[in-house]
């Protein structure tokens, strides 16, 4: 009886380490899968942005750089109203093309 108890005591740490290693590997694999999915979604978003008409794409990219409407208008030498219209239209197009992917991207962000 004591030999069994000693064996269990001595090998409990090994079982615990083995269990933790397998759990760590499983978690790491899940993270890699999530990262690959997230990268794929980002790639698809970039592809859709590149498909926008040139003027709209320029306005949208400058918006992503946190430039204000007056700054974008001055940089591109267009009116502020044109900037507003191009930005709104770009968002509508991207939202329509990426509706399921954007939701999935936000879902991934909420997990971590």
**What is the value of pTM for the model shown?**
0.59
Select the more confidently predicted residue: 111 or 1. 1
In this prediction, residues 25-40 reach a mean pLDDT of 70
Quote the CA–CA distance of 20 and 45 in Å, as a whole number: 37
**Could you tell me the pLDDT band of residue 40, with boundaries at 50, 70 and 90?**
confident
* CATH-assigned architecture of domain 27-111: Orthogonal Bundle (1.10)
Helix (H) or strand (E) holding 67: none
Sorted by sequence, the CB contacts under 8 Å of residue 102 that are 6+ apart come out as 45, 95
Quote the CA–CA distance of 101 and 84 in Å, as a whole number: 25
Select the more confidently predicted residue: 25 or 111. 25
- What was the pLDDT predicted at 16? 59
Mean pLDDT of the chain: 78
Quote the CA–CA distance of 97 and 40 in Å, as a whole number: 15
**Could you tell me the pLDDT band of residue 36, with boundaries at 50, 70 and 90?**
confident
Which of 8-22, 33-47, 52-66 has the least mean pLDDT?
8-22
In this prediction, residues 21-47 reach a mean pLDDT of 72
User: Residue 16: exposed, middle, or buried by beta-carbon count in 10 A (0-12, 13-18, 19+)?
Assistant: exposed
Quote the CA–CA distance of 54 and 78 in Å, as a whole number: 14
- Match 């978690």 to its residue by tokens: 27
Nearest to 45 by CA among 61, 65, 67, 68: 61
């Amino acid at each position: 009886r004591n030999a069994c108890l000693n064996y269990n005591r001595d090998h409990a740490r090994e079982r615990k380490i083995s269990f933790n290693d397998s759990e760590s590997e499983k978690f790491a694999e899940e993270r890699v899968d999530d990262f690959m999915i997230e990268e794929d979604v980002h790639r698809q978003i970039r592809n859709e942005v590149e498909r926008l008409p040139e003027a709209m794409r320029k306005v949208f990219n400058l918006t992503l750089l946190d430039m204000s409407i007056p700054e974008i208008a001055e940089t591109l030498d267009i009116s502020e109203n044109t900037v507003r219209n191009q930005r709104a239209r770009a968002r509508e197009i991207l939202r329509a093309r990426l509706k399921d992917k954007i939701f999935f991207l936000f879902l991934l962000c909420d997990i971590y």
